[in-house]
Amino acid sequence: MSFLSLKQVSRFYGSVAAVHNFDLGVEKGEFISLLGPSGCGKTTTLQMIAGLVRPSSGTIMMGGRDITYMPPPQRQLGVVFQSYALFPHMTVAQNVSFGLEMRKVAKAERETRIKDILALVHLSALADRYPREMSGGQRQRVAIARALVINPPVLLLDEPLSNLDAQLREEMQFELRRIQQAVGITTIMVTHDQAEALSISDRVVVMEKGKITQVDTPYELYEHPRNDFISSFVGKSNFMPATAVANGAGTTISIGSTDITFETDAKTASKDVSVFIRPEKLRLTTPSNGQLQGTVTTRYFMGSQWLVSAATPAGVLAVAVPNLGAPPPLEGENVGLSWQHGDCRVLAAGAAE
pLDDT range class, residue 350, cuts 50, 70, 90: very low
What gap in Å lies between CA 276 and CA 346, rounded to an integer?
Answer: 6
Q: pLDDT per residue over 5-54, tens digit each?
A: 999 999 999 999 999 999 999 999 999 999 999 999 999 999 999 999 99
- The yes-or-no verdict on residue 164 having pLDDT over 90 is no
pLDDT confidence of residue 264: 54
Percent share of the chain, pLDDT over 70: 93
Task: Provide the residue ranges of all domains of the chain, joining segments of one domain with +.
Answer: 4-225, 236-347
Neighbouring C-beta atoms of residue 325, cutoff 10 Å = 5
In this structure, CATH architecture of domain 4-225: 3-Layer(aba) Sandwich (3.40)
What gap in Å lies between CA 303 and CA 300, rounded to an integer?
Answer: 9
- The yes-or-no verdict on residue 205 having pLDDT over 50 is yes
Residues 6+ apart with CB under 8 A from 249: 261, 263
In this structure, CATH architecture of domain 236-347: Beta Barrel (2.40)
Q: pLDDT per residue over 61-91, tens digit each?
A: 999 999 999 999 999 999 998 888 899 999 9
Please indicate whether residue 256 or residue 54 has the higher confidence score (pLDDT). 54
| Helix ranges restricted to H, 103-193 | 107-120, 136-148, 166-183
What gap in Å lies between CA 88 and CA 104, rounded to an integer?
Answer: 22
CB 204 within 8 A of CB 215: yes
CB 227 within 8 A of CB 186: no
What gap in Å lies between CA 246 and CA 271, rounded to an integer?
Answer: 10
- The yes-or-no verdict on residue 166 having pLDDT over 50 is yes
The sign one gets for the Cα dihedral 199, 195, 122, 106 is negative
- The yes-or-no verdict on residue 168 having pLDDT over 90 is no
CA angle 173, 175, 179 (to 5 degrees): 120
What gap in Å lies between CA 232 and CA 158, rounded to an integer?
Answer: 23
Report which of 3, 6, 5 is spatially closest to residue 19, judged by C-alpha positions: 6
What is the average per-residue pLDDT within 231-245? 85
Cα-Cα-Cα-Cα torsion 220, 224, 230, 233, nearest 10 degrees, comes to 70
- The yes-or-no verdict on residue 215 having pLDDT over 50 is yes
What gap in Å lies between CA 95 and CA 78, rounded to an integer?
Answer: 14
Report which of 186, 191, 198, 342 is spatially closest to residue 276, judged by C-alpha positions: 342
- The yes-or-no verdict on residue 269 having pLDDT over 60 is no
pLDDT range class, residue 352, cuts 50, 70, 90: very low
Please indicate whether residue 307 or residue 353 has the higher confidence score (pLDDT). 307
What is the average per-residue pLDDT within 133-160? 92
Question: Average per-residue pLDDT in the chain?
Answer: 90
